Structure 1
Amino acid sequence: MNAADEVLDVVDENDRVIGQAPRGEVYARGLIHRCTFIQVRDARNRIFVHRRTPTKLVFPSLYDMFVGGVVGAGESYDDAALREAQEELGVSGLARPKQVTKFLYDSEGVAGKWWSAVYEVRCDQPVRPQAEEVAWHAFLTEEELMARLSEWEWVPDGRAAYERLLAHRTG
């Protein structure tokens, strides 16, 4: 099954499930769905950063400071966060990510709106990123990441999630 065929829960402005549809239809019709954003830190407290592959349905070839993705039909945010983190990092036995915040993101016509659950997790094992998802990766210090915010083209939903995560930490 390709990504466009994956079935997602369609939700309302209050994050209540109102139906289901294939991802391609959800994006084409701008339906509200659910996503996870997991900030991964290594044993040295550096942040996993990657560039998305050019084959991604949304925001191809852009940089991201989160791993994650859509929440499948009937799947919880927590289960999706763990699944996505392990898949994209190429690891198993990862600790369950901890949810920090959640917000409704509006892609302004790209693919609708999505409820965005933001998580944090530590990964002390070597990563083997999923080649279909990750074109390049590195672990950067917070300072290195901040310096690149104005240099690299970042996924807009990840930028929004990162700003909310920073606000949560200082708030």
Structure 2
Amino acid sequence: MSASDEVLDVVDEHDRVVGQAPRGEVYARGLIHRCTFILVRDGQDRIFVHRRTPTKLVYPSLHDMFVGGVVGAGESYDDAALREAEEELGVSGLPRPVPLFRFLYDSRGVAGKWWSAVYEVRCELPVRPQVEEVAWHAFLPEEELTARLAEWEWVPDGRAAYERLLTWRGR
């Protein structure tokens, strides 16, 4: 099954499930769906940063400071966050990501709107990122990540989630 065939819950502006549709249709019709964003820190408190592969359906080849992805039909945000983090990092036995907050993101015509659940997790396991998802990766100190915000091209939804995270933390 291709990524565009994966079935997602379609939700309304209040994050209530109103139906289901394949991801390709959800994106093409601009339907509201659900996604997870997991900020991953290593044992030295550095943040996992990566560049997406050029084959990604949305925002190919851009940098991101989150791992994550769409929430499958009938799947909880919490289960999707753990699944996506383990898949993208190439690990198993990761602690359950800690939920922080949610917000509705508007992609301005790229793929509709999505409810974005932001999480944080500490990963002290050796990572082997999923080659289908991650073209390059590194754990960066937060100061370096901040410096790279102006230098690298970032996925807009991840950038929005990161800015909201800084505000949420009072920075």
TM-score by length of 2: 0.99
Letter in 1 for 2:164: R
- Structure 1: stretches of 5+ with no match in the other structure: none
SS at match of 1:147: helix
SS at match of 2:169: helix
Pairing of 1:43-58 with structure 2 (within 5 A)? 43-58=43-58
Instruction: Give how far 1:13 is off.
Output: 0.1
Deviations 1:26-45 (A, max 9, x none): 00000000000000000000
SS at match of 1:170: coil
Pairing of 1:21-170 with structure 2 (within 5 A)? 21-170=21-170
Deviations 1:88-133 (A, max 9, x none): 0000000000011100000000000000000000000100000000
SS at match of 2:115: strand
Letter in 2 for 1:20: Q
**Aligned equivalents of 1:51, 1:62: Cα separation in 2:** 5
**Aligned equivalents of 1:55, 1:12: Cα separation in 2:** 29
Say how many residue pairs are matched. Answer: 171
**Aligned equivalents of 1:117, 1:28: Cα separation in 2:** 22
State the match for 1:10 in structure 2: 10
**Aligned equivalents of 2:147, 2:107: Cα separation in 1:** 25
SS at match of 1:27: helix
SS at match of 2:102: strand
- Structure 2: stretches of 5+ with no match in the other structure: none
Instruction: Give how far 1:170 is off.
Output: 1.1
Instruction: Give how far 1:79 is off.
Output: 0.1
**Aligned equivalents of 2:116, 2:164: Cα separation in 1:** 11
Deviations 1:44-92 (A, max 9, x none): 0000000000000000000000000000000000000000000000000
TM-score by length of 1: 0.99
